[in-house]
Amino acid sequence: MKKYAIILAAGKGTRMKTELPKCAYPLLKKPMIAYIVENLYKSTVIDELITVVGHKKQVIKDILNSRVSYAYQEEQLGTGHAVMMCKDQVTEPGYTIILPGDMPLIDELVIKEAIVYHEKAKNDLTVVSTNLADPSGYGRIIKKNNQLEAIIEEKDATDKQKEINEVNTGIYIVDNKLLFSSLDKISNDNAQNEYYLTDIVKIIKKDNYKISTYLLKKSFKAMGINDLYALSQAESILRHEINKKFMRSGVAMINPDTITIGDNVLIEENVTVSPNTYITGNSVIKKNAKVGPSTEIHNSKIGENVTVKHSLIYNSEVKANSTVGPFAHLRDGAVIGENNRIGNFVEIKKSSTGDFFKASHLAYVGDAEIGNDVNFGCGSITVNYDGRNKYKTQIGNDVFVGCNANLIAPIIIDDNSTIAAGSTLDKNVPKDTLAIARSYQVNKENYFKNGKRYKDKK
């Protein structure tokens, strides 16, 4: 028996007011559909994932790549029509779980529990439902003698049916053969002129197959994201759940309502996160680190006992016992060694530093390899770009770079060298060398008479 999952991601999502397909819109810097795919894999109960794409399908494919297979719905004719596009791929006996691609809060636990219920009940069709205080916009669950009879979309519902609080989440688990034989029988005779997937309930019920609902008690998990307000609500819920998990595992958060942590982030115990901090992507924060306030870290690794404040760190690594900030910027694969001091208004891009490197203020390091015990003075930079190409700077161990020095790459500064302040270098510096590249000072005495620089205006 093979278990399939079908994710519906072909819609435009016009209410999002975005050029992106709705399911590609980011939630905590990760596309909504990525949550669904990851949680299906985490559930470990699915053999094959199929994503139905349509509008701007390449955007979805660029997000998911080869993690799923694809079916194409070139013309959006409803959810039933979308599932029909998978008919040639769902070929083996078993069952399929069908999920909307805009429900990022559906986690692996919900998926597991729904499937366990479906198997234990020996159902042919299970509809995942939930109760909402305000069911507006959702299809209503119609029951008779507590047995599922049908699902009525709100636009087709009577006033009496609209009073029902139990709603369809859009998640179904259904026998593979029965799914497509039922879809062959549905029509588009409704207010939307679409082929509703919900119509398979009546068809399967009529043929006396076993169907029932699995009631999702935590209704917020079934929240569909149709506009930017709903997105903000989902972000608030997800942020709260993630922060709660970390705080209970030994992470201190100061004013957690202002802190955003992505769901793929790993944070070890005894870490302190201060207000207005964002940690997203596949970031890792090692124990005893202090992050924030007002810091953003994305796809980066922060080592033990590191302090980062008022800074941006993207796709980079900071090793143990280093300090970053305030107002530093690490990006594009920067690797900061142990016991470094990266100070205020220092930018490091696509470079590596050894241990005990110091750039305390107002410096730029780009496309460089730097050894141990190196000091960068205030205003010093690696001149890595000539307007067309980027070039590399190599600096050895025990090098002192004075203030306002320009190192024009490609250039090699060997061990135990000193670069005099104000120098602009375009030649390699040998080991044990003092390099000076600046013009001599000239003093012209009595240049301004009577001690006045400017004559008095009359």
Active site (catalytic) residues? 361
CB 118 within 8 A of CB 109: no
Task: Please state whether beta strands 375-376 and 266-267 pair in parallel, antiparallel, or not at all (unpaired).
Answer: unpaired
Please tell me the distance from the alpha carbon of residue 103 to that of residue 36, in angstroms, as a whole number.
7
Please tell me the distance from the alpha carbon of residue 76 to that of residue 22, in angstroms, as a whole number.
14
Helix ranges restricted to H, 44-192: 57-64, 79-84, 108-121, 176-183
- Cα distance from N-terminal residue to C-terminal residue, the chain: 100
State the CB neighbour count (10 A cutoff) for residue 108.
Answer: 15
CB 53 within 8 A of CB 73: yes
Q: Which residues of 161-194 are buried (b: 16+ CB within 10 A; e: fewer)?
A: eeebebbbbbbbbbbbebbbebbeebeeebeeeb
Residue 52 pairs in a beta bridge with 8, 71
Closest alpha carbon to 129 in 86, 172, 161: 172
- Where are any strands of DSSP class E within 101-190? 125-131, 140-144, 147-152, 166-175
Please tell me the distance from the alpha carbon of residue 158 to that of residue 171, in angstroms, as a whole number.
23
Please tell me the distance from the alpha carbon of residue 69 to that of residue 417, in angstroms, as a whole number.
57
239-243 long-range contacts (CB < 8 A, ≥24 apart) are 239/28
- Side chain identity, residue 257: D
Entry field: residues in the chain: 458
Provide the token pair at 34: 């990525």
What is the CA 111 to chain-centroid distance, rounded? 22
Please tell me the distance from the alpha carbon of residue 265 to that of residue 285, in angstroms, as a whole number.
8
Query: The tokens 């970031």 sit on which residue?
Result: 283
Closest alpha carbon to 212 in 220, 204, 222: 204
- Side chain identity, residue 132: L
